[in-house]
Structure 1
């Protein structure tokens, strides 16, 4: 049954409203002198919306981002040997990006449950690998960086498809946050949650992280309406801008668009905003696998 033109207009209006509702507009993306750019990209195992496996195309999108640190999801095959899918040598030669060293899940793999962090700026001080609960095997990386502007912790994750799994995974991440020394922290990755209010499966991240902050639509890549990919900061104003990287190449290279966040560590550490001690009251029971 064909839709009437009026129905099509109504559907388009609804989608426009979803994309432009409060909390889904990007923050201003003017990069300051002290800014560090952090990105997140679900590369969909290097398979584009055209169904073509093209790691070179994926790598070109990664270089387009021009970010200092990039959290990659689905960097490895899901089954079998879980081999890495990207040409890391090419990325280093062309963009200066190198992988944060971790205990990969196979000798030929890049990441931890598909999570890979690339960096070209800063020094890695510590790496922890979290096992996340849920129906599907999932994980997260917790990496402490030293940058010129100060110290930063990045928690890079790819949360599950099921709501209950995401709730459990968010609680595990908060427990890991509780167990760590307090410092400016980013939670970044494909969190698989588009809701930003009380119905969000990420509600347990409050008050440390604000799940509604800077949510910008990144999925599906050809007509993004859902903010599945997030960058959440603690303190909340650590992130000064969030934007979607929407280019012709990015629209076909994966079913997700990359997102970028601008952060100003110097402003946070100068005392313009307070880094709160952890106080969620969650158990410190460790789900941490140390290197």
Structure 2
């Protein structure tokens, strides 16, 4: 009997700003509907300045109906938080105040997926960086998912990867694990990617950047070897070619 598959995807959504330089969060959700993954790791999911709120409003995710965000219970400090009744004031001004993830990293899951654990991780770097971790029950199968967006500097990328791998090994019980995100690594089979050689397999998804003319596989799905990669690829569509400067990558996995 064939094991059921779980579809995962990773998408640097560029704060919902498309290649036309317009912020259109509904395009991001349209792309996610096309992929129809069980679990999605997002990068650049929150605005960088101001209230640092989600680039895709929570109400829009709710009305979309397919996904729910994993709530990590963390928020970025904002100057406005020092002002009494700041959230009430921002609400009256129509400003979003709630972030979707941690340092732009977020995880969306289909509504029937059970979230059994979650954690936000700080990563070593010169600028604020983090990763998010969720432990899930997907149709009776446990799966750990880590979403990350690595630094532009190769030195810091290696330190960040080692922090993630060490954290999983020390703090969590064995569970099939997928690590996904924008690695900012242009070199195939070298650089920071070789740190995953022990215990993990790199899904051969293909080039995902730039959306206009993909020439680099910056976005990666890295799969623990207890899982089988049944199929994988880059999601090309009219919507995906406009919604961000990255194309989403996806993989179907089985135990």
Quick one: structure 1 residues 81 and 88, their matched pair in 2 at CA, closer, same or farther if it must change by over 3 Å?
A: closer
**Unpaired segments ≥5 residues, structure 2:** 77-96
Query: 1:194: which partner in 2?
Result: 186
Pick from 232, 247, 263: which aligns with 2:237?
A: 247
Pick from 18, 27, 50: which aligns with 2:20?
A: 50
TM-score, normalised to structure 2, is 0.85
Matched residues in 1 for 2:240 and 2:3: separation?
A: 27
Pick from 20, 25, 33: which aligns with 1:63?
A: 33
Query: 1:94: which partner in 2?
Result: 64
SS of 2:102's equivalent in the other structure is coil
1:59: how far off?
Answer: 2.1
SS of 2:53's equivalent in the other structure is coil
Matched residues in 1 for 2:205 and 2:36: separation?
A: 21
The residue correspondences of 1:142-153 to structure 2 (distance < 5 A) are 142-153=133-144
**Unpaired segments ≥5 residues, structure 1:** 1-31, 269-291
Matched residues in 2 for 1:65 and 1:159: separation?
A: 24
SS of 1:210's equivalent in the other structure is strand
| Residue 39 of structure 1 pairs with residue 26 of structure 2 | no
* Greater fraction strand: 2
Moved more, 107-116 or 225-234: 107-116
Query: 1:109: which partner in 2?
Result: 99
Structure exhibiting the larger radius of gyration computed from Cα positions: 1
1:215: how far off?
Answer: 4.1
How many residue pairs get matched? 232
Matched residues in 2 for 1:104 and 1:178: separation?
A: 23
